[in-house]
Amino acid sequence: MKTTIAKLSAGLVAAMVPAARGQSLKLVHAATAYEDAKEVKFNSPEGVACTDAGNVVVADSGNGRLLMFTYKDGAFRQPVEVKIQQLGRPVRVQIDSKGDVLSLDQRTRRITRVGTAADFRGYVEPAGMPEGHGFRPIAFKLDKADNVYLLDVASARVVVINSVGAFQRELPLPKGQFVDVAVDASGTVYALDASNAQVWSAEKKDKAFTALSKPLKDVASFPSYLALTDRGFLVLVDSHGNGLVVLGPDGSYLGRQLSIGWADGSVYYPGQICIDAKGEYFIADRNNNRVQAFTAAK
């Protein structure tokens, strides 16, 4: 069955992808983690976050826990398990400037804060936010000042709150099926529409999003996550297409990376991705029940 799915998916992606205008990067497999220190296997891990200092946090979604690793010399080391009731089913994670982990529960849609000692430090609770038509965050990101950018699908907007939850800004979303948000160092906010495989952006002064890329359905099946590199590239996780789509800072298509498979270096319904300043890529390889590390070839 897996062989049949792999052939169909590989054929679909090959048919979808025209010749790129030049690959912007090439990823080389570096390491894989399948389990914790007690050999308890991952179960559908959907989230991963990292820091430039080598801290990697995995949202082991099916097991309702976080695993905190140190990534050093091309290996995942010293896993610490965090399994507390408040996590629920963690699916998206971020690490703030203090080292705390923010984890989104898929069921309650609450964001739990976990300290560096693996302790519960409360929930991220927005205050002073315009009422809208309800509040249901499905994705979030942090900027360098620990402001939180929440993708609220109930009211079709991106809400920005500061590190203590106070409302800062909101941006209405265009029509579409939005699944992720991102922010760069200048404060430009990006939103990912999965239905059209399209990225939208809004600069710090803007009050609405404008289209950054054209619809990319010819090169992306169903992008579900958006990450930015220090070089300004946008990396889309194409979950259904089992790979990554790379865009230039202007939204132009630059190429694809990775493909479906079960050997190291391939992916099967990937979830979240994290990219550090050293060009190391960490991917939650959900249906392969593992997390992989890649390096960007020079």
CB distance 251 to 230 below 8 Å = no
Of the candidates 94, 33, 49, the residue with the CA atom closest to the CA atom of residue 292: 33
Q: What percent of the chain has pLDDT over 90?
A: 89
DSSP state of 260: B
Indicate which CATH number applies to the domain containing 197. Answer: 2.120.10.30
Both structure tokens of 168: 């800062």
Query: Which residues have a Cβ under 8 Å from the Cβ of 298 and sit 6 or more positions away?
Result: none
Is the pLDDT at 19 greater than 50? The verdict is no
Indicate which CATH number applies to the domain containing 86. Answer: 2.40.10.500
Cα atoms in the 13 Å half-sphere on the side-chain side of 274: 26
> Would 41 be classed as within a structural domain?
no
* The domain boundary residue, chosen from 140, 172, 204: 172
Please give the order of strands across the beta sheet that includes 55-60: 47-50, 55-60, 65-72, 75-82
CB atoms within 10 A of CB 80: 15
pLDDT digits (tens, 9 = 90+) for 142-199: 999 999 999 999 999 999 999 999 999 999 999 999 999 999 999 999 999 999 999 9
pTM for the full model? 0.92
CB distance 106 to 78 below 8 Å = no
Q: Are residues 118 and 136 in the same domain?
A: no
Both structure tokens of 18: 């025209």
The pLDDT of residue 24 is: 61
Residue with tokens 């939650």: 284
Q: Are residues 201 and 274 in the same domain?
A: yes
* The domain boundary residue, chosen from 107, 124, 141: 124
How far apart (Å, rounded) are the C-alpha atoms in residues 58 and 111?
15
Question: In this structure, what are the phi and psi dihedrals at residue 231, rounded to the nearest 5 degrees?
Answer: -85, 0
Q: Are residues 116 and 78 in the same domain?
A: yes
Q: Are residues 117 and 65 in the same domain?
A: yes
Nearest 5°: the CA angle 235, 278, 141 is: 45
Q: Are residues 146 and 191 in the same domain?
A: no
Both structure tokens of 290: 């593992």
pLDDT digits (tens, 9 = 90+) for 218-238: 999 999 999 999 889 999 999
Q: Are residues 141 and 249 in the same domain?
A: no
* The domain boundary residue, chosen from 124, 140, 161: 124
Helices H, strands E: what count in the chain? 1, 24
Q: Are residues 200 and 290 in the same domain?
A: yes
pLDDT digits (tens, 9 = 90+) for 26-80: 899 999 999 999 999 999 999 999 999 999 999 999 999 999 999 999 999 999 9
When divided into structural domains, the chain yields a total of 3
> Would 225 be classed as within a structural domain?
yes
Q: Which domain holds residue 118?
A: 50-124
Is the pLDDT at 16 greater than 50? The verdict is no
